[in-house]
């Protein structure tokens, strides 16, 4: 250990690994991981969400999983709850859509209307 | 892949003894089977504090709190929660008020009223991984102190924070550091007193097991302030987990250059070694502790000269308790003013208490000074189990005294507890209900101090033994009123004339029970009756008229001493009764109690 700066660098590195354990109050992403969700590839979606938020270094985002969300035909689905508690349900997710959501919804705060469940179901 | 779930398993001694290690192993197996190994982080932490519900497992990011987990439950948690995102309801805690399941750790009242400073990392980080401590701003305080402050500024900051010794005495820590700093010497020592001996106290163990680095960091800060470059941690050999984690922590800190030569490229060097105690209670006294480190027999000596002038091997030595040290890094991270703003005017900061005895939430709590005893026992502790009535709380272990119902609204701080005839002590809190006999409690603590007295001074060696003899006479039914007078006289004599803290405080349990529960002593001596039904010789269980004849007592009696028809009053055969008290606990209407023997003849 040479200086306080070294220590701070070490701290920031270590913090990344412990990020899951921090209580956050920002966006909450819940991914449907019932049997239906898992069968249609929700695990990969979950993985991409985690990777993307980490790449974009979004700190205040909780990513978690929930059971079946009810609309099994539209899996994989993810519900995004923003700071105000408003919920957006995205459906038929793919890796590309997830990246788009992270970019547009989480960072630019603009929900992507065409992927929302409410839009799809008409 | 990045870890998406962290499973925190409590690795405090309490949970370890109920198979926390097997639970971790089982998690590893199950996660391997499900192919989730890379996504889930398994962390064994220090004590979460809610030992009653152990073994405890917490899952992040959902903050789900699972209680009483067994290795068999691990499969369910993995398949349901980790794989499918469904919380396993049967393992969550039921809220006693509205019978709903408590899923989130923040909903637990137990944690809501606490403020964690000394225990800040306990149960939050892996104590065997220095990087997790560093992530929580660990060693930042040390770096800041070494680079930006002079030793005198460090001492001043601690003085300003108002931190007082958490070992029990409550001596201002800043003042102690100043004394040692002022003594001119080529060699000085820092000692961490981890010889936690009070029956029922385990907060120092929890800190050492859950956050050993905070103690190491604080010792280095202290070393810089007083001009010492060698520290010793005197820890009981009975704490194997704490010793093991301390050793790991010291080695990790040395590897990263946070202990050793020229820390942060300054001219300051500091190293720490562990010394094991052999389990003598008296070695918690600082001069006895120093004797023991030197290799001698642990016996206290006269003060002054205080260790700050002449301590270990004759050099100035600063001795602080584990919890005191655990507070130090936070003072430098957040500032003395912040620390001073917590607690009461004279006692700043928080205090950790170990709740034990007749209480729902046995465990470890940390509350700001100034919290009332009632809040600690009834709100955080959850009150008395089995619908029994609160009788007294013993604070300060064998050196403290009992506090009764009427004083429960006292705000906890050093002065208030001393004024009540008890003391802060190291923080053990034993709660007693109506089934505890106060004479027996006094006898228990005295028995402990008689065992632990080192024998150097006569009042403590002989006086406590005589007191114990009297108490033994009383509980066996041979006591007289003169014995009680004699007991009180002896108690003051031992208190006033003993050499060290052990003897000076040993009579406290007797004096405080005599003060608050003299009627119990008198009923032991005159009526030959122990109302609580604890002292065997003085217990005569009788069933009273409000018996509903349910027959529960008869079914619970191990020697079939109770007879009676259903729905009529039952009778105990006193010749057959072995006074185990099983019937008393079983009775749904509290109809069974111990009565004076004459009364029983008429019934």
Q: Which of A100-114, B16-30, B541-555 comes out lowest in average pLDDT? A: A100-114
Does A17 reach chain B within 8 Å, measured CB to CB? yes
Predicted confidence at residue A84, as pLDDT, reads 82
In B369-394, which positions are buried (b, 16+ CB within 10 angstroms) versus exposed (e)?
bbbbbbbbbbbbbbbbeeebebbbbb
**Do residues B172 and B305 both lie within one domain?**
yes
Inform me whether the pLDDT recorded for B352 exceeds 90. Answer: yes
Residue of B84, B130, B252 for testing the chain A interface, max A β-carbons within 10 Å: B84
Inform me whether the pLDDT recorded for A4 exceeds 90. Answer: no
B422: closest CA among B402, B397, B405, B449?
Answer: B402
Inform me whether the pLDDT recorded for A59 exceeds 50. Answer: yes
In a domain, B137, yes or no: yes
Q: What ipTM did this prediction achieve?
A: 0.81
Per the CB < 8 A criterion, the answer to whether B170 and B414 are in contact is yes
Ramachandran category for residue B479: left, alpha or beta (phi over 0 → left; psi -120 to 50 → alpha): beta
Q: What is the mean pLDDT of residues B528-557?
A: 90
**Do residues B182 and B266 both lie within one domain?**
yes
Is residue B556 very low, low, confident or very high in pLDDT (cuts 50, 70, 90)? very high
Task: Residue B3: list chain A partners with CB under 8 A.
Answer: 17, 20
Percentage of residues of chain B with pLDDT beyond 90: 70
pLDDT tens, residue by residue, B488-506? 999 999 999 999 889 999 9
Task: Residue A32: list chain B partners with CB under 8 A.
Answer: 85
Could you give the CA distance from residue B43 to residue B58 in angstroms, rounded to a whole number?
10
**Do residues B313 and B221 both lie within one domain?**
yes
Burial class (CB in 10 A: 0-12, 13-18, 19+), A76: buried
pLDDT tens, residue by residue, B165-179? 998 788 999 999 999
Q: Name the domain boundary from B107, B141, B161.
A: B107
Q: Do B84 and A15 touch (CB under 8 A)?
A: no
CATH number, position B33: 3.40.30.10
> Taking chain A, what is the end-to-end CA distance rounded to the nearest angstrom?
61
Q: Report the domain count for chain B.
A: 5
**Do residues B382 and B505 both lie within one domain?**
no
Partner residue facing A62 (CB), from B61, B132, B144: B61
Domain containing residue B412:
350-433
B211: closest CA among B176, B253, B261, B270?
Answer: B253
Q: For residue B370, give how far its alpha carbon lies from the nearest alpha carbon of chain A (Å).
A: 28
In a domain, B531, yes or no: no
Predicted confidence at residue A37, as pLDDT, reads 87
CATH number, position B571: 3.30.70.20
In a domain, B117, yes or no: no
In a domain, B114, yes or no: no
Q: Do B1 and A47 touch (CB under 8 A)?
A: yes
**Do residues B179 and B286 both lie within one domain?**
yes
B435: closest CA among B474, B480, B398, B387?
Answer: B387
Q: Do B5 and A20 touch (CB under 8 A)?
A: yes
Inform me whether the pLDDT recorded for B124 exceeds 70. Answer: yes
Predicted confidence at residue B463, as pLDDT, reads 94
β-pairing, B5-10 vs B57-60, is: antiparallel
* Cβ count within 10 A of residue B3: 18
Q: Do A17 and B5 touch (CB under 8 A)?
A: no
Q: Do A7 and B143 touch (CB under 8 A)?
A: yes
Closest chain A residue to B60 measured between Cα atoms? A21
Closest chain B residue to A35 measured between Cα atoms? B84
List the structure tokens of B341: 């703003």
Could you give the CA distance from residue B97 to residue A3 in angstroms, rounded to a whole number?
52
DSSP string, B485-543: HHHHHHHHHHHHH-SSHHHHHTTHHHHHHHHH-HHHHHHHHTS---TTS-SGGG--EEE
Q: Do A47 and B62 touch (CB under 8 A)?
A: no
Does A51 reach chain B within 8 Å, measured CB to CB? yes
Partner residue facing A50 (CB), from B2, B147, B257: B2
Q: What is the mean pLDDT of residues B301-327?
A: 93
**Do residues B292 and B318 both lie within one domain?**
yes
Could you give the CA distance from residue A88 to residue A30 in angstroms, rounded to a whole number?
10
**Do residues B382 and B453 both lie within one domain?**
no
Is residue B1 very low, low, confident or very high in pLDDT (cuts 50, 70, 90)? low
Q: Which of B92-106, B397-411, B487-501 comes out lowest in average pLDDT? A: B92-106
Q: Do B1 and A50 touch (CB under 8 A)?
A: yes
Residue B6 φ/ψ, nearest 5 degrees? -115, 130
Q: Do A51 and B147 touch (CB under 8 A)?
A: no
pTM: 0.89
Q: What is the mean pLDDT of residues B8-19?
A: 91
Could you give the CA distance from residue B154 to residue B169 in angstroms, rounded to a whole number?
22
Predicted confidence at residue B598, as pLDDT, reads 64
CATH number, position B395: 3.10.20.600
B558: closest CA among B570, B534, B542, B576?
Answer: B576
Per the CB < 8 A criterion, the answer to whether B115 and B353 are in contact is no
Is residue B444 very low, low, confident or very high in pLDDT (cuts 50, 70, 90)? very high
Q: Which residue has the higher pLDDT, A70 or B525?
A: B525
In a domain, B323, yes or no: yes
In a domain, B479, yes or no: yes
Predicted confidence at residue B427, as pLDDT, reads 87
Interface residue ranges in chain B relative to chain A, Cβ cutoff 8 Å: 1-6, 8, 39, 41, 60-63, 83-86, 124-125, 131-132, 134-135, 137-140, 143-144, 147, 256-258, 263-265
Closest chain B residue to A2 measured between Cα atoms? B264
Could you give the CA distance from residue B14 to residue B574 in angstroms, rounded to a whole number?
40
> Taking CA B567 as the corner, what is the angle to CA B565 and CA B573, rounded to the nearest 5 degrees?
45
**Do residues B257 and B169 both lie within one domain?**
yes
Q: For residue B145, give how far its alpha carbon lies from the nearest alpha carbon of chain A (Å).
A: 10
pLDDT tens, residue by residue, B189-240? 999 999 998 888 899 999 999 999 999 999 999 999 999 999 999 999 999 9
Inform me whether the pLDDT recorded for B599 exceeds 80. Answer: no
Residue of A11, A31, A35 for testing the chain B interface, max B β-carbons within 10 Å: A11
In a domain, B122, yes or no: no
Could you give the CA distance from residue A112 to residue B550 in angstroms, rounded to a whole number?
69
Q: Which of A51-65, B39-53, B109-123, B140-154 comes out lowest in average pLDDT? A: A51-65
Predicted confidence at residue B603, as pLDDT, reads 47
**Do residues B245 and B191 both lie within one domain?**
yes
Is residue A110 very low, low, confident or very high in pLDDT (cuts 50, 70, 90)? confident
Partner residue facing A64 (CB), from B62, B132, B147: B62
Inform me whether the pLDDT recorded for B459 exceeds 90. Answer: yes
Inform me whether the pLDDT recorded for B601 exceeds 60. Answer: no
Does A20 reach chain B within 8 Å, measured CB to CB? yes
CATH number, position B471: 1.20.1440.230
**Do residues B497 and B593 both lie within one domain?**
no
β-pairing, B401-404 vs B390-395, is: antiparallel
Predicted confidence at residue B507, as pLDDT, reads 94
**Do residues B187 and B324 both lie within one domain?**
yes
Per the CB < 8 A criterion, the answer to whether B125 and B204 are in contact is no
Does A25 reach chain B within 8 Å, measured CB to CB? no
Inform me whether the pLDDT recorded for B37 exceeds 90. Answer: no
Predicted confidence at residue B104, as pLDDT, reads 79
Inform me whether the pLDDT recorded for B285 exceeds 70. Answer: yes
In a domain, B381, yes or no: yes
Predicted confidence at residue A16, as pLDDT, reads 80
**Do residues B72 and B51 both lie within one domain?**
yes
Does A56 reach chain B within 8 Å, measured CB to CB? no
* Mean predicted lDDT score pLDDT of chain B: 91
* Cβ count within 10 A of residue B593: 18
Domains in chain A, CATH or no CATH each: 24-121 (3.40.30.10)
Q: What is the mean pLDDT of residues B350-370?
A: 92
List the structure tokens of A73: 């035909």
B62 three-class SS: coil
Q: Which residue has the higher pLDDT, A73 or B180?
A: B180
List the structure tokens of A45: 């979606």
């Amino acid at each position: 250990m040479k200086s306080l700066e070294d220590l701070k660098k070490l701290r920031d590195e270590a913090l990344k690994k412990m990020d899951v354990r921090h209580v956050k109050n920002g966006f909450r992403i819940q991914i449907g991981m019932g049997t239906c969700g898992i069968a249609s590839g929700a695990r990969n979606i979950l993985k991409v969400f985690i990777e993307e938020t980490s790449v974009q270094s979004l700190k205040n985002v909780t990513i978690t999983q929930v059971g079946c969300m009810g609309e099994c035909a539209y899996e994989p689905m993810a519900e995004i709850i923003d700071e105000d508690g408003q919920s957006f349900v995205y459906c038929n997710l793919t890796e590309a859509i997830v990246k788009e959501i992270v970019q547009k919804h989480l960072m630019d705060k603009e929900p992507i209307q065409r992927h929302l469940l409410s839009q799809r179901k008409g | 892949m990045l870890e998406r779930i962290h499973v925190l398993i409590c690795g405090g001694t309490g949970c370890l003894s109920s198979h926390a290690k097997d639970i971790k192993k089982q998690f590893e197996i199950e996660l391997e089977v499900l192919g989730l190994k890379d996504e889930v982080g398994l962390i064994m932490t220090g004590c979460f504090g809610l030992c009653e519900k152990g073994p405890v497992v917490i899952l992040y990011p959902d903050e789900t709190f699972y209680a009483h987990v067994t290795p068999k439950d691990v499969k369910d948690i993995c398949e349901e929660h980790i794989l499918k995102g469904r919380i396993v309801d049967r393992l969550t805690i039921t809220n006693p008020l509205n019978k709903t399941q408590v899923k989130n750790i923040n909903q637990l009242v137990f944690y809501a009223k606490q403020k964690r400073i000394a225990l800040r990392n306990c149960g939050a980080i892996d104590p065997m991984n220095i990087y997790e401590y560093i992530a929580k701003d660990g060693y930042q305080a040390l770096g800041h102190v070494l680079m930006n402050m002079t030793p005198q500024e460090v001492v001043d900051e601690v003085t300003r924070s108002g931190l007082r010794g958490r070992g029990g005495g409550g001596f201002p820590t800043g003042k102690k550091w100043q004394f040692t700093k002022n003594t001119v010497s080529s060699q000085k020592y820092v000692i961490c007193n981890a010889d936690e001996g009070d029956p029922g106290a385990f907060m120092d163990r929890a800190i050492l097991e859950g956050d050993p680095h905070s103690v190491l960091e604080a010792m280095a800060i202290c070393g810089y302030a007083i001009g010492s470059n060698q520290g010793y941690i005197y820890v009981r050999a009975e704490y194997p987990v704490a010793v093991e984690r301390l050793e790991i922590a010291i080695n990790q800190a040395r590897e990263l250059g946070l202990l050793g030569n020229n820390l942060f490229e300054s001219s300051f060097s500091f190293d720490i070694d562990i010394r094991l105690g052999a389990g003598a209670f008296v070695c918690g006294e600082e001069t006895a502790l120093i004797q023991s480190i030197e290799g001698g027999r642990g016996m206290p000596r006269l003060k002054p000269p205080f260790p700050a002038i002449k301590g270990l091997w004759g050099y100035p030595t600063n001795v602080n308790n584990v919890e005191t040290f655990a507070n130090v890094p936070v003072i430098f991270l957040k500032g003395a003013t912040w620390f001073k703003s917590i607690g009461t005017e004279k006692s700043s900061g928080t205090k950790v208490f170990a709740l034990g005895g007749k209480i729902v939430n046995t465990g470890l709590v940390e509350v700001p000074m100034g919290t009332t005893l009632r809040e600690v026992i009834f709100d955080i502790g959850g009150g008395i189990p089995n619908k029994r009535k609160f009788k007294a709380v013993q604070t300060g272990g064998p050196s403290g005294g009992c506090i009764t119902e009427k004083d429960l609204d006292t705000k906890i701080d050093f002065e208030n507890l001393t004024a009540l005839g008890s003391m802060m002590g190291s923080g053990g809190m034993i709660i007693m209900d109506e089934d505890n006999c106060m004479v027996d409690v006094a006898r228990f603590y005295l028995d402990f101090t008689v065992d632990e007295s080192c024998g150097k001074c006569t009042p403590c060696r002989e006086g406590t033994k005589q007191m114990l003899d009297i108490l033994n006479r009383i509980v066996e039914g041979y006591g007289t009123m003169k014995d009680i007078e004699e007991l009180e006289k002896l108690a003051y004599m031992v208190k006033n004339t003993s050499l060290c803290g052990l003897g000076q405080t040993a009579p406290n349990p007797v004096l405080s029970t005599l003060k608050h529960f003299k009627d119990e002593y008198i009923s032991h001596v005159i009526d030959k009756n122990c109302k609580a039904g604890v002292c065997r010789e003085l217990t005569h269980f009788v069933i009273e008229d409000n018996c509903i004849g349910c027959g529960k007592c008869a079914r619970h009696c191990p020697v079939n001493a109770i007879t009676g028809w259903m729905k009529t009053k039952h009778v105990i055969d006193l010749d057959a009764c072995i006074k185990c008290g099983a019937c008393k606990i079983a009775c749904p209407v509290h109809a069974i109690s111990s009565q004076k023997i004459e009364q029983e003849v008429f019934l």
